[in-house]
Amino acid sequence: MKKELRVFYVACLAALVSAACMVPSAKKAQKVPSGTSAVKAETATQKTTSTAPTSSAEATEQEPPAQAPAADQSAETKALKIVRVLLADNQSETKIEHSGRVYIYTQNLDKKYKVSSEGTLSVRFAGNGKVQVGTLKSDQPIIIEPAKETLLTWSGNIYSGKIFVVPAQNTFILVEHADLETYLYGVLPYEMSYSWPAEALKAQAVAARTYTLRTLETVKNKYFDLYSDVRSQMYKGGGKQYPSVKTAVDATKSQVLMYNDKLFYTYYHGNCGGGTDDVKSWNESARTIKPLSGASCAYDSHSKTYSWKQDIAHSKILNYMKTVGLTGKLKNIRITQRTKTGRVTRLAVQTNKGVKIVACNPLRLAIGLKSCKITKMQVDSSVVHFAGHGYGHGVGMCQDGANGMAKAGKTYEQILKNYYPGAKLTTLKK
Ligand SMILES: [Zn+2]
């Protein structure tokens, strides 16, 4: 593809760039969103060298070229390639800034542009199933590829991978194709504080890398592998690199956890409240494996989420109960099942219309309770007073515990061994 583009640029230079070769939207002044100082604002007077489409042929239903990973790629192969991250869906119009040269082309390469200097690209849904980037319109994905030193800024976040603008009904989605290790630069600071000790960050890097690669094994969507929010892992672009995070990711490059020679979902959470639990406590239909069967945790009591109190309005609880088929006024809540660490797995909710037993975790998420490790529950006239320990589902690595272990001088290998017992730290080969 690179060679083809080069030939193309030479052709364009030979033809002398004309006004028709410009990308008009790239010339418009655009305010840089706050927090993106790495990317300078474009000015209306910038010089733009762009090329006209190589052909006026209509885009066809051609299959994507090599950049879209096939479903049968092994995890080891993917480790060295790219992850496709959904940055946003349901978009109708947006701007993407580029700090330097970018290449813009349709997926089947029938139309290609180059913008040689910094600027802002206008991206929009153009009707009839087409998307538009600058002047380039297509009913197939349009790719914005940054040159080596170029960074792309979208919605205040900085990216170094290619961004795909993919038509989707009457909108478009934005998907970044990021190198796995670069992707992790953009995950870690939002899943764990970059100021935490190096060994905790390294443990987090291995957990996030493993989780990512395990996820890639079961991808069903045609255009992306991961969300950029809590549905997968938080991600705000690999273009902004915190030194501590970069060090942790680089020091553990290609390292993953395996159990019985297979990747597994290396779940992690904020605070386990003194001990983690079997994955079944979180999701009854999950299959227990040794690394996700629970672990002791003696290092998380320093955190403010270790012990908490929360008052939750009746209305929140009743709204959830309606979704599982129980209406009426809240009368009582009883705990009917706990794990051996004290995490509640089932509760009986009683209203004036009846009683229903529910799993704790979906209720917790719906009402915003910090965890199911509930130590106190008192139904008052309009609220329920809760007290408990921990934050999150309590399965896999306890991040506060990892922090505590690192501060106590433990290595990332020791941290991972504690929270994922029986798992083997493995370096993926090229
Ligand atoms: Zn813990």
Kindly report, residue by residue over 361-417, the tens digit of the pLDDT: 999 999 999 999 999 999 999 999 999 999 999 999 999 999 999 999 999 999 999
Q: What is the pLDDT of residues 37-49, one digit of tens each?
A: 222 222 222 323 3
Q: How far is the CA of 28 from the centre of ligand 1 (A)?
A: 51
Task: Output the CA–CA distances (angstroms, integers) from residue 204 to 35, 59, 248, in the order listed.
Answer: 25, 43, 9
Q: How far is the CA of 239 from the centre of ligand 1 (A)?
A: 31
Q: How far is the CA of 405 from the centre of ligand 1 (A)?
A: 10
pTM of the shown model:
0.80
Q: How far is the CA of 364 from the centre of ligand 1 (A)?
A: 18
Q: How far is the CA of 342 from the centre of ligand 1 (A)?
A: 13
Q: How far apart are CA 174 and CA 233, in angstroms?
A: 17
Q: How far is the CA of 417 from the centre of ligand 1 (A)?
A: 14
Q: How far is the CA of 236 from the centre of ligand 1 (A)?
A: 26
Q: How far is the CA of 199 from the centre of ligand 1 (A)?
A: 16
Bridge partner list, 103: 114, 145
Q: Does residue 1 carry a pLDDT above 50?
A: no
Residue 393 confidence (pLDDT): 96
Q: What residues contact residue 298 under an 8 Å CB cut-off, 6+ apart? A: 274, 401, 404
User: Is-contact 372 321, C-beta < 8 A?
Assistant: no
User: Is-contact 382 314, C-beta < 8 A?
Assistant: yes
Per-residue pLDDT, averaged over 214-233, amounts to 91
Show me where the domains of the chain are located: 2-56+83-180, 186-301+394-427, 307-389
Q: Is 9 helix (H, G, I), strand (E, B) or coil?
A: helix
Q: How far is the CA of 213 from the centre of ligand 1 (A)?
A: 25
State which H helix or E strand residue 373 sits in.
Answer: none
Q: How far is the CA of 311 from the centre of ligand 1 (A)?
A: 23
Q: How far is the CA of 370 from the centre of ligand 1 (A)?
A: 14
Q: How far is the CA of 401 from the centre of ligand 1 (A)?
A: 4
């991250």: which residue's tokens? 85
Q: How far is the CA of 269 from the centre of ligand 1 (A)?
A: 9
Q: Does residue 150 carry a pLDDT above 90?
A: yes
Q: How far is the CA of 297 from the centre of ligand 1 (A)?
A: 5
Residue 37 confidence (pLDDT): 24
Q: What is the pLDDT of residues 112-137, one digit of tens each?
A: 889 999 999 999 999 999 999 999 99
Q: How far is the CA of 85 from the centre of ligand 1 (A)?
A: 29
Q: Is 396 helix (H, G, I), strand (E, B) or coil?
A: coil
- Which amino acid appears at position 87 of this protein? L
Q: How far is the CA of 344 from the centre of ligand 1 (A)?
A: 16
Q: How far is the CA of 403 from the centre of ligand 1 (A)?
A: 10
């597994």: which residue's tokens? 264
Predicted confidence band of residue 74 (pLDDT cuts 50, 70, 90): very low
Q: How far apart are CA 379 and CA 334, in angstroms?
A: 10
Q: How far is the CA of 268 from the centre of ligand 1 (A)?
A: 10
Buried b (16+ CB within 10 A) or exposed e, 296-335: ebebbeebebbbbebebebebbbebbeeeebeeebeebee
Q: How far is the CA of 400 from the centre of ligand 1 (A)?
A: 6
Eight-class DSSP state of 32: P
Predicted confidence band of residue 184 (pLDDT cuts 50, 70, 90): very high
Lookup: tokens for 150: 């170029």
Q: What is the pLDDT of residues 233-278, one digit of tens each?
A: 999 999 999 999 999 999 999 999 999 999 999 999 999 999 999 9
Q: How far is the CA of 267 from the centre of ligand 1 (A)?
A: 13
Checking DSSP bridges between strand 130-133 and strand 136-138, what pairing results, if any?
Answer: antiparallel
Q: What is the pLDDT of residues 85-118, one digit of tens each?
A: 999 999 999 999 999 999 999 988 888 889 999 9
Task: Output the CA–CA distances (angstroms, integers) from residue 391 to 56, 69, 159, 183, in the order listed.
Answer: 56, 36, 30, 25
Per-residue pLDDT, averaged over 54-69, amounts to 26
Q: How far is the CA of 301 from the centre of ligand 1 (A)?
A: 8
Per-residue pLDDT, averaged over 226-232, amounts to 93
Q: Does residue 56 carry a pLDDT above 70?
A: no
Mean pLDDT over each residue of the chain, to the nearest integer: 84
Q: How far is the CA of 270 from the centre of ligand 1 (A)?
A: 8
Q: What is the pLDDT of residues 410-424, one digit of tens each?
A: 999 999 999 999 999
Q: How far is the CA of 104 from the centre of ligand 1 (A)?
A: 47
Residue 80 confidence (pLDDT): 57
Q: How far is the CA of 277 from the centre of ligand 1 (A)?
A: 10
Predicted confidence band of residue 61 (pLDDT cuts 50, 70, 90): very low
Lookup: tokens for 345: 């797995």
Residue 342 confidence (pLDDT): 96
